[in-house]
Structure 1
Amino acid sequence: MRKGLAAAGVVALISAGSAACGADDPASPQGKVDNAFQKLGKQNTITVDLGFSGTSASIYSAMKGEDGFTQADADLLASLHVTIGGSSQKSLSLLGKSLGKDAGATKDSSAGFLLSTDGPSGKKLIEVRAVGQKVYLRADVQGLEKLDTDRSDAGSIAEFNDQYLDSLSSTPGSVGAAASGKWVSIDPAVWSAFVKTALAAQGGGSDSGSTTPTLDAKTQNQVVAGLQAALTKDATFADAGKKDGADHITVTVPARQFAQDVASGVAPALKQIPGMKQSDLDEMQRAEGVPAKKVTADVAVKDGSVSSITFDIHQLDSESTGPLPLTVSFKGSAAPITAPSGAVALNPQDVVSAVMGMMGDDSGSSDDSMF
């Protein structure tokens, strides 16, 4: 899983850098990629799907040397997909130019996240949408049990389902709606006020720990400039022919130097995270676990727009026994990401009452009079 996430980051950053290269010749491999990302960026909504493109058998063959990796783990990885979307009233290419004082404004934009399994019995396990000033959440708690492939784990999701899910699902109000897989909404202003009040009651002060890290325009520009430098100075592009109606371009970068440059590029943003240590940043920038060799990614361009990027994870591991392709698929659309209908407001008092109830405190019974 760790290797998969690392590779996902490499692929995503390669794609971002390719779009920022600005090749002089639009007919060159680099120019084709640049133009393809520019066309994708003209859409109002872009969704990005991440998943392994190999079969469960090929995934197991490539990963069976990992400690504790089983066929059940391979089956899970073959079925899982992560989908991330973003939309705005403006085309996303225009948003990329807005790095001034209004950068990061969300009133005219929205975002979505989906964790799902595919196949005939595919399910949406977790879905999150950020629309306007609210966050909307829906989770299939029973379906999430499938993510725990170690059935011997006494602290598994299955145990939680057996002990608490039925009780929570029958709870009136927002907690019951959330536990039964219905949409709930979260108002950050309400929760922030609740946390401040709770901290003050505990003698921590209303401002204790309540600062939210933000990326100002200067930091954003530093990150963008750093990533563009990392992704353009050593990348090479080559035509790889046509397949399934798409033009394929191979993008090659020196892995360790690339990782070091990317770590330096994102450091200004990571410093904003509470608890982030300089020693952790230094370790990232050393990139000791990344091989000192060149790695490649395949970029597919269809109908003039980027349709997918595939990265073979085995390139990062000399002990890998076979290919392990991870594919990021792109789709542009004019349809915006919208708030779901019928969402119930998740109230912090309801959550506290439910937790107290699970702990056996009768005083924590739910009070839904405010609804």
Structure 2
Amino acid sequence: MPVAVTASVLATGLAACGTVEQLSAAQKVSKAFDKVGDGKSAGFKLSIDATPEQIVAFAKATGEKGAEGGGMDEKSAKAMSGLSIAVAVSADKPLKEIEAFKNAKGSAADKDLTLDKSVRISYVIADRNGTSLLEYRQVDAKGYLHVDAKGLVKLVGEDPSQVDAVSKDLPADMGAVKEVLAGKWISLDLQELADEAKKNDGKKATPSGAPTADPEAAKQLVNSLKDVLTRTVTYEDKGSKDGTEHIWMSAPARQLVDEMFKAVKPVADKFPQQFKKFPSQAPSDVPDRKVGVDLYLKDGAFSSATFDFAQLADKIEPGVNFPVKLAFDKSAPNVQAPGDAVKTTTEDLMKAVLGLAAGGTGPRPGAGLDPENGPATAVAPLTDAQLKELAKLGVPETQARAFNSLGMSFEDIKEITQQG
């Protein structure tokens, strides 16, 4: 659902550039999107606008089994209805001028990764009542995470007491996970994490010799996509109400997907990182009919977009809907650092993530990870030569040793790093 809405909105912004400017409705959309980056703050909220009744009806119409084969129950539908993901970003300069990392000194091959402390970001997943279930903030180059583990468990219909049971059984070296399960804020120094990439000869954030995209190919791809969108996407001005303009953007779904596939396929191999597993043929389950998104503009700026997910269903009865909404607010809330966050180191975080990946039992030092049974046979400690090679790939020694102590071999670490 997020992909459906966001892709439609981004496609609109792209299609509204240049050649479609002759359309008055498209001109409005183009100018509206231009204003998004002009301000110093922005807030986006993607939410499920479908009511519990609509969700149940949609699940039934599309053959969703759930609830032991009886379809989605009202309790699950009520939990899903109103779920939202909100993103807020603000800075001391227009957002279109922000760079996530700045080249503080030296050449591109010897650059220092310095985060822009003026950028403040927050991500919040909340339920229909606005209660935060998961929240991440970035303030002054530090990251902060808070999770309502019991709220998440309750949301999916499970017993919240399971959280306490899991936390009790965790080993001591997974303290970061215990703090999260206890509902505490944890913090991580993002600049420290970036600086680690510079240590031990780790002067490159990507593997040495990694292929990069051809600028000419990138230009060709963008022009091809713009051409496809210009020919297939149409805009219809639906008028205005209370100062809000309504524009309907639509396109024949299967034709759009087929033509975009044909535009990307010839140059996919020139973008090895972006299109690693590009399909050999276009998706065949895209409906052969027009689908569209309702765009709303307030004072000439993008305000919101609503997309009915039911449009993508193979067969759907009239009156069955599943609306999702993407709203924009140029005056995003000021993001502040929580005052009681527990500091977490990079090594703590790595141990927590890998420990959970191994089944939450905390693999013993030197133990390998069996995909089915967790900790398995011991792996060899990393040699100085291997540490040096990993450092050249952007893995600092401390991080490499942490991976190794949790059961990852040299080849495991190298493969994951090279895959990005």
Structure 1-normalised TM-score?
Answer: 0.71
The match for 1:182 is 184
Aligned to 1:291: 287
C-alpha distance in 2, partners of 1:344/1:269?
A: 44
**How far, CA to CA, are the matches of 1:136 and 1:221 in structure 2?**
38
The answer to whether the aligner puts 1:129 opposite 2:132 as a matched pair is no
Aligned residue in 2 for 1:258: 256
SS of the residue corresponding to residue 320 of structure 1 reads coil
Aligned to 2:374: none
Alignment partner, residue 369 of structure 1: none
- In 2 relative to 1, CA 86–224 (structure 1 residues): closer, same or farther, beyond 3 Å? farther
SS state at 1:282 partner: coil
Q: Which has more radius of gyration?
A: 2
| Residues 226-249 of structure 1: CA deviation (Å, up to 9, x unaligned) | 654443332111111234542100
Partner of 1:238: 236
Contact 2:211/2:272 (8 A) holds in 1: no
Counterpart amino acid of residue 113 in structure 1: Y
Is 1:146 the counterpart of 2:154? The answer is yes
Partner of 2:8, secondary structure, is helix
Q: Secondary structure of the equivalent of 2:50? A: coil
The answer (yes or no) to whether the contact 2:173–2:348 under 8 Å persists in 1 is no
Deviations for 1:267-286, whole angstroms, at most 9, x for unmatched residues?
5897426xx74xx3125x61
Partner of 1:112: 122
Which residue pairs with 1:17 in the alignment? 14
Residues 1:334 and 1:345: Cα distance change in structure 2 (over 3 Å): same
User: 5+ unaligned residues in a row in structure 2: which ranges?
Assistant: 366-420
Stretch moving more, 330-339 or 78-87: 330-339
1:40-82 deviation digits (Å, cap 9, x = unpaired): 3312122111112221101211222323241333222212101
Retained in 2: the 8 A contact 1:79–1:117? yes
CA distance in 1, matches of 2:196, 2:64: 44
The CA deviation at 1:251 is: 0.6
Deviation at 1:335, TM superposition (A): 5.8
CA contact (8 A) 1:49 1:83 kept: yes
Aligned-partner Cα distance in 2 for 1:214–1:46: 34
**Larger RCO (alpha carbons 8 Å, 6+ apart):** 1
Call closer, same or farther: CA 1:194–1:304 in 2, change over 3 Å.
Answer: closer
Counterpart secondary structure, 1:82? strand
Q: Secondary structure at the match of 2:291?
A: strand
**In angstroms, what is the RMSD of aligned CA positions?**
4.5
Counterpart residue number, 2:308: 312
The residue that corresponds to 2:72 in the other structure is 70
Q: Number of aligned residue pairs: give it.
A: 334
- Equivalent-residue separation in structure 2 for 1:360 and 1:94 (angstroms): 43
Distance 2:162 2:30 in 1: 48
Q: Pairwise mapping of residues 84-233 of structure 1 onto structure 2 (< 5 A)?
A: 84-94=87-97, 106-107=115-116, 108-119=118-129, 122-131=130-139, 133-149=141-157, 151=158, 158=160, 160-165=162-167, 174-188=176-190, 211=207, 218=215, 225=223, 227-233=225-231
3-state SS of paired residue (1:57): helix
Counterpart Cα distance in 2 of 1:239 and 1:17 = 18
- Superposed displacement of residue 331, structure 1: 0.8
CA drift of 1:301 comes to 1.0
- In 1, Cα distance between the equivalents of 2:253 and 2:141? 39
- Cross-structure match for 1:328: 326
After TM superposition, give the deviation of residue 261 of structure 1 in Å: 5.0
Q: Distance in 2 between matches of 1:18 and 1:226?
A: 11
Match of 2:50 in 1: 54
Query: Are residue 247 (structure 1) and residue 245 (structure 2) matched?
Result: yes
Mark the CA change 1:178 to 1:269 in structure 2 (over 3 Å): closer, same or farther: farther
DSSP-derived class of the 1:306 partner: strand
Structure-2 change in CA distance of 1:166 and 1:227 (3 Å):
farther
Residue range with higher mean Cα deviation, 126-135 or 55-64: 126-135
TM-score by length of 2: 0.64
Q: CA deviation at 1:134?
A: 3.4
Q: Report the CA distance between 1:292 and its aligned residue.
A: 2.6
| SS of residue paired to 1:79 | coil
Counterpart amino acid of residue 310 in structure 1: T
| 1:282-335 CA-partner distances (Å, limit 9, x unpaired) | 25x612221232211110112221111111111111323412111111111276
Contact 2:49–2:82 (CA under 8 A) maintained in structure 1: no
Letter in 2 for 1:127: E
**SS of structure 1 residue aligned to 2:232:** coil
1:34/1:196 CA distance change after superposition, 3 Å:
closer
